[in-house]
Chains A and B, each alone.
Chain A
Amino acid sequence: MTSQIEIKNVTFQYPGAEHPVLNNINLSIEKGDFIAILGGNGSGKSTMCKLLNGLIPHYYVGDMSGEVTVNGYKTTDYKVADLSKHVGYVYQDFENQIVSPRVLEDASFAPLHYGLPDFHERGLQALKLVGLEEQKDAFIWQLSGGQKHLLALASVLSLNPDIIIIDEPVAQLDPHHAKDIYDILTELNEVHDKTIIVIEHHTEFVASYAKKVVLMDQGTIHFSLPVTEALNQVDTLLAHQIYPPQVTQVARETGMDGKLPVTLEEGLTHFSTAEPKESTYISSREQKQAIVSYEDVDFAYKTITREKKQVLHEIDCTIHEGDYIALVGNNGAGKSSFMRLMTGLVKAATGEVTVDGENTRDVPPEYLAEKVTYIHQNPEQMFIEDCVEKDVAFFMKSRKVKDYQTKVDKLLKQFELTELADRDSRLLSGGQQRRASLAIGVGMNPEIMLLDEPTANLDIATRKHITKLLDDLKRQLKAVVIATHDMQLASEFANRIIVMHEGRIIHDGDRVSVFQNYRLLEKAGLMPPQVFSLTKSLGWEEPAYTVQEFIERYQREEVDNGVYA
């Protein structure tokens, strides 16, 4: 069987760059494969994918040597237009990839512009494949983030390419929508025999869906292996700042020999069902002084069609000093609106939101900013100056804080930004941007910090760094609210979890009361951490929530039976 994609000795250097991004790469991919590309930020993953549809070298004129063949076409000899019929590419910032105002128009844009008479049918067919046919006449700005992503996928499917590349498909999605998109990719792979290539940080998805893993490191291919084998190389993965699935991690940490499990199902047969040690977790919440209170709050905004859309219904909630809250729920459950009400940027339709005894309706956001800081999901939206240092200083400067320069320097140091101080924040990497946005937030010296998806879009090493920073912040702040899909973060960080669903608070408890409540998880579309599901299936009465906890509490049957005693 000849390979569908053949990359031979390719080296590529962007014009003006000091080092090549790709360094003598060799890779062959068979038709019908499902490949996950792993690698830290900046390891050359996206650049390699751009080789395949000819954007390199036709669009990016850098120094390229070596040869790429796709479906028998040498990419240097054919145009992007020809190659696009074989390779479809869905970008990480897929929203910029959508060029027409209506859904069906965008889906049929490519076939229309390549002069295919059945462009309309092709567009419809593609929409059907991703499950968007009902929205075909909608305007793109009426779609949710997840739907836009599906549309971007449909738009490349309409040319019926054999190969589909998708860059971080689930970065901004809740677990259920994430699963949906992977199920669609699997169908394309199995039923329609497409080759799928994903760039992915979430190894738990990789384990369940991909067939093969390619690990990249600083412009080279470290290995290309079948998925189980690849994820079993725990040391290598960790060295490249990639975390294997939790199941694999705990199997390894508890000293399992031989082949390690990579999915939950595999995990179940590997671990003993012996009773674990007792949990030492105690919920450490004591009621202190209330800082924020919501009383019977409704919130609505006007949509494009001039209709009011109600996003929050009858919210009653009090946030106390010492609360570290994880706000969880599906995309569109109202988490962001809930937080933005505290900033004063938006006002409640009915009901009262009070911060420190002050009704948010009566004061401007500038005033509340001294107490409440809101960190955007997309850090870029917080950058209003032309370098990191000025951005951090902006708040203090406008309030004429004495000696602000020393404080700024200290913050830059705390968030490891000193070297980047005069770079434009927009041009930093994802992890650096996230740190910069946190530095800006802490610089405002707030009582409460609100964070919208602080760990989305990060590779795991950066994620770990950010979680550590967040943990340190607990000491500097009276309360923290994090809106997140990241249940690992929720169970490690929070002492209180609020579950939202369709604009209502449907549960207010902690990790025990949330994850133990099967119906609640189902209704709110939550997926507990893998290690929790594992211990639950193993029959632990008090399941473990984190890898660390599992390792501490897990005991092998032998020990119990006294074999080693």
Chain B
Amino acid sequence: MEYTRKFADKLSVEQVKIELLNTAYGNGDTFLAKLDPRTLFIWYLFFGIIPWFIHDVRVLIGMCLFMMVTTYMAKISPLIIFILCLGLLGQGGYLLVVSLFFGGNWTTMLPLLVLTVKLSTISLASISVFCSMNPDKLSDGLLKIKVPGQVSFSIAYGYRMLPTLIEEYHHVFQSFRLRGKTPEKHGFLYIRSIAYFVKIAMLSFYPLLLSTAKSARTTVEALETKGSMYGFNHPEVKKLKLASLKMKRQDYLFLLGSAIYVIALFILL
């Protein structure tokens, strides 16, 4: 009981909100976060795609190590890393069990390991890049590479709404708890209690949708008066908005350094 409560404390809605917000906005002072979004896009274009086409295990491991360094530099929230590891282990482990079960042997391991390394490299690259850009930076970057204003604004605005939505959800969830009734007994392996919580966790979404729909009306009106439509249709607004984006020396150095490292991997290994 004591342990379940401790675990539940860690897993509260509040905690999830804090982690999410920190992931989105909390990493503003790392080296990666200070780079221009375009640099990060280019960098990601390479490390997100190229590993698929590389079969040399040593090169892959080298790249993976590099990604680990960037992930460390980006100061990623432990929760994200935990979820990632869970995913990778689950995926790899499942394939391993299946292959052993259907007559594969330890030699099947190697290609599976290669796949896992590839996946890790790409996932780590994604995490380093997207956790280093807060939603506003991401949205400005997208705008710069000619994605329509509505799309890039939606991303920034979506994140701005996130804490509000979670808070609203939390309220509804608590209202269910304040009026509902827990099962008399926990049941085998807490099955009844778990079922009860899963049920209210799902039911809580309905009132959330209704109340959000209502409050969105004010937001849409406010956006209208704040000139967001005007902004989307006038190129000079875009220019004004992106004036602060600039490729600096550190951007070029970072790209150059990454390129040298990859070339070195191919030559030396």
In the bound complex, how far is the Cα of B248 from the Cα of A491, in angstroms? 65
Residue in A114, A304, A398 whose CB lies within 8 Å of B181 = A398
- CB-CB < 8 A to A386: which residues of B? 206, 210
Contacts of A395 in B (CB 8 A): 179-180
Partner of B225, one of A84, A364, A440: A84
Q: Which of B180, B229, B234, B236 is the one whose CB lies under 8 Å from A398?
A: B180
- A–B Cβ pairs within 8 angstroms, 23 of them: A81-B224, A88-B225, A93-B218, A99-B228, A100-B160, A101-B156, A102-B136, A114-B227, A114-B230, A114-B237, A139-B21, A141-B163, A306-B22, A345-B174, A365-B177, A366-B182, A380-B211, A381-B172, A383-B211, A384-B172, A386-B206, A426-B211, A427-B214
Give A80 to B224 CA distance when docked, in angstroms: 7
**Contact of A101 with B179 in the complex, beta carbons under 8 Å:** no
Query: In the assembled complex, how far is the CB of residue A98 from the closest CB belonging to chain B, in whole angstroms?
Result: 8
CA A74 – CA B136 in complex, angstroms? 37
Q: Counting CB contacts under 8 A, is B157 at the interface?
A: yes
CB pair B203–A101 under 8 Å, yes or no, is no
**A31 interface contact, C-beta 8 A:** no
Question: Please, how many angstroms separate the alpha-carbon atoms of A105 and B26 in the complex?
Answer: 17
B residues contacting A by CB (< 8 A) are 14-15, 18, 21-22, 25-26, 135-136, 156-157, 159-160, 163-164, 168, 171-172, 174-182, 203-204, 206-207, 210-211, 214-216, 218-219, 221-231, 234, 236-237, 240-241
Distance A140 CA – B156 CA, assembled complex (angstroms): 14
By the criterion CB–CB under 8 Å, are A384 and B203 in contact?
Answer: yes
Do A91 and B218 contact each other (CB < 8 Å), given the known contacts A84-B225, A398-B181, A444-B179?
A: yes
User: Are B230 and A59 in contact (CB-based, < 8 A)?
Assistant: no
The answer to whether A115 touches B219, judged by C-beta atoms less than 8 angstroms apart, is: no
Contact of A302 among B18, B159, B203 (CB under 8 A): B18
Q: Which residues of A contact B (CB under 8 A)?
A: 53, 55, 59, 80-81, 84, 88-89, 91, 93, 95-102, 105, 109-110, 112-115, 117, 119, 139-141, 155-156, 301-306, 343, 345, 364-367, 369, 373-374, 376, 380-386, 394-395, 398-399, 424, 426-427, 440, 444
Which residues from chain A contact B207 at a C-beta distance below 8 Å? 383-385
> How far, in whole Å, are A407 and B72 apart by their CA atoms in the complex?
61
- By a CB distance below 8 angstroms, the chain A residues around B168 are 381
Q: Chain A's nearest CB lies how many Å from the CB of B20?
A: 10
Contact A112 B241 (CB under 8 A): yes
Q: Which residues from chain B contact A59 at a C-beta distance below 8 Å?
A: 221, 224
Q: Which residues of B contact A305 (CB under 8 A)?
A: 26
Residue from B177, B203, B211, B226 within 8 A of A366 (CB atoms): B177
Question: Which chain B residue has the least Cβ–Cβ distance from A380?
Answer: B211
Check if A115 sits within 8 Å of B18, measured CB to CB: no
Residues of chain B lying within 8 A (CB to CB) of residue A109: 226
Give which listed residue, A91, A304, A398, A440, contacts B222 with CB less than 8 A: A91
**Alpha-carbon separation in the docked complex, A301 to B170 (Å):** 15
Tell whether, in the assembled complex, residue B218 and residue A399 are in contact, meaning their CB atoms are under 8 Å apart. no
Once A99-B157, A304-B21 are accepted as A-B contacts, the answer to whether A113 and B179 lie under 8 Å apart by CB is: no
State whether B175 touches A381 (Cβ < 8 A).
Answer: yes
In the complex the two chains form, is A306's CB within 8 Å of B178's CB? no
CB of B159 within 8 A of CB of A345, answer: no
A364 proximity list for chain B (CB < 8 A): 177, 182
Would you call A112 and B214 a contact (CB within 8 A)? no
Do B227 and A382 touch (CB < 8 A)? Answer: no
Cβ distance A360 to chain B, nearest Cβ, rounded Å = 13
Please report the C-alpha to C-alpha distance between residue A10 and residue B192 in the assembled complex, in whole angstroms: 61
Question: Distance in Å from the Cβ of A113 to the closest Cβ of chain B?
Answer: 3
The CA of A381 and the CA of B231, in the complex, are separated in Å by 35
Query: A366 to B21, alpha carbons, bound, how many Å?
Result: 30
Residue in contact with A99 in the complex, picked from B135, B179, B223, CB distance below 8 Å: B223
How far apart sit A317 and B58, CA to CA, in the bound complex (Å)? 67
Docked CA distance A399–B177 (Å): 13
Q: Complex: how many Å from CA A345 to CA B182?
A: 14
Min CB distance B153 to A, Å, is 9
CA distance A306 to B21 in the complex (A): 11
For the complex of A and B, the 8 pairs showing the least CB-CB separation, nearest first, are A113-B231, A96-B218, A113-B227, A381-B171, A97-B222, A110-B226, A115-B237, A114-B227
Q: Which residues from chain A contact B215 at a C-beta distance below 8 Å?
A: 93, 95-96
By a CB distance below 8 angstroms, the chain A residues around B234 are 115
* Complex: chain B residue closest to A50, CB-CB: B221
Are B163 and A426 touching (Cβ within 8 A)? no
Q: How far is B224's CA from A89's CA once the two chains are assembled, in angstroms?
A: 12
B86: shortest Cβ distance to chain A, in Å?
22
Complex CA gap A380/B221 in Å reads 21
Do residues B240 and A96 form an inter-chain contact, with CB atoms below 8 A?
no
Distance in angstroms between the alpha carbons of A21 and B168 in the assembled complex: 31
Q: How far is the CB of A62 from chain B (nearest CB, A)?
A: 15
Are B219 and A114 touching (Cβ within 8 A)? no
Q: Give Cα distance in the complex from A539 to B175, angstroms.
A: 49
Asked if B225 and A80 sit within 8 Å, CB to CB, the answer is yes
CB distance from B4 to the nearest CB of A (A): 12
B131 to chain A, nearest CB (A): 16
Are the CB atoms of A302 and B218 closer together than 8 Å? no
